[in-house]
Structure 1
Amino acid sequence: METHNLTYVSEFHLLGFSDDPELQPILFGLFLSMCLVTVVGNLLIILAVSSDSHLHTPMYFFLSNLSIVDICFATTMMPKMIADILNHKRVISYVSCLTQMSFFIIFGCMDDKLLTVMAYDRFVAICHPLRYKVIMNPHLCVLLIFLCVFISLLDSLTYNVIALEFPCFKDVEIGNFFCHPTQLLNLSCSDALIKTLVTYFVGAILGFFPILGILCSYYKIVSSILKISSLGGRYKAFSTCTSHLSVVCLFYGNGIGVYLGSAVSYNPSQSMVASLIHILVTPMLNPFIYSLRNRDISNTLKGLHSWRV
């Protein structure tokens, strides 16, 4: 395989979902509709939280930030893919590729960290209810958001340093519909040891530590719920976690089941489907999960609808 230097290669070629001209209008309409539903659904969550003073709590503060990140996550990747389908082009410049990769890592990592922070919030609410307002004060909530942003930027910077430090690639063909960080790293001419270290470092930040934090939080939550004598009290305590737990299962279930499966036997189609689920399907379903399984959110949305009518 011929090696190209970025001094002469200024763009990458992306792999699309299909080359069939008859499928292009269908894919365009499908992805555009999903993108619009994602944006509108998460905007409604943000509007509901900001308009109802009863929802001005740490749990809904983190939820509104999660919705903002989901909107940014989807709109960073999808418009380019939709435009490529419309224009029948799958080319992206080197600078645009690095920019797209950076935003993918930042918002993906923030999504990951916010789910961990929300698990900690539920742990404090159920295990230390009398001290909840003292512990989860506004200063701590803002600090946790800034910590999520800082870790996400650090994660993105790590990938960018590797990409800029070794401006040499084995190929210009990226087997996805966007500049996937792992695939771009594999295409670079950097040392195999460096690639391995970066992969494990990012994997620990994105996967191991957040999952460990969520599991520890829910272990404590379940232990506290089991100590409640009444069945109604147990149900009421656990019902405050169902929406978050559903989103966590959707987010990590897809990541572990599909991404690890494609890593064992790499297949471009599987990789693109996995990426699409992470970038668009999961953020699109999150508002439905929180609105259907959360009575406060659903009641506020109904109130907004009746007020407009």
Structure 2
Amino acid sequence: MKSEIEAFRIICMFGIVWFHSGVGVCRVVAHGGLMFFIIISVYFAVTSRRRHSLAERAGRLLVPCLAWSVFYGLIFYVRRGHVFPENYTLPSMVLATPSIHLWFLPFIFLVLVGIDRLRNIFEKPAVPALAGAAAIVSLLSAPLWQDMHLADPFTQYLYSVPAVFIGIFFGCYGRGDPLAGRLISATIVLSLLVLICRFHSEVGTLYMVGIVPCIFLFYSNVILAGNKTLFLLSSSVFGIYLLHPFWQMFFRFIGVTSCFLPIATFVLSMASVLLVKELFPGGIAAVWRPVRNRWHLPLVRPASAQRP
């Protein structure tokens, strides 16, 4: 287990909560946490030796997405009189869900299923260079696409494309020429510096935040040793992602504002998830298992096993 990666999962999840709270200070930096999650999700999918079935991927990502879509849809219907934003088309309803933060789950499902189906391609030595080149081109072209206004969640998809290429590049890093890998890595960082310093692009900032922690994918347990408390807190990250908009709505309702909003939301979300894990050690899997066995539905792993 990579201790530093687990620590950054917690930090970056706090960043996502901060970003969704709408606090202006460091908002772009906080958004970089999402890029980190996309990169490591792709990295672990590429490097995994385990074969995942479509049903497994659906059970881990689409079933929670559907369940929480119903949860938030009911809340929005009671509060606003409609489940989806009024300007949503059918694709937005399906892929963005009633609560926009859930867009990540269908997106990463499609990405991971694609990786599963193309796994043999990633063994080819040319893939790291191609993925790295695609990452560099997509990043340097950010000034052309970052201001495009697309329907939800396609803007989010557009911003996430370079992260997918970076994750593939990191995942295949050891399969190509080492010198070429180091040159591509340096060029990716240089591209981000160009975006930040020359174009003042927020894409450069959020990707720099997302990439820097990824060094611990290759050099793990350097700063932090294995720690049970760290892994316990890290196991709550997926649950925090699903739950935090609910607590944000609650705290906004009682008048909590400014930086206290994301802090209170994060703390209470984590506490809620850890409490549920303590009361129901099997998590949703324990509840889902009898239904799954009866109707032959996909497996759902507990939140601690998920990697957003």
Q: TM-score, normalised by structure 1?
A: 0.31
Structure that is richer in strand per residue = 1
Q: TM-score, normalised by structure 2?
A: 0.31
For the pair shown, the structure with the greater C-alpha radius of gyration is 1
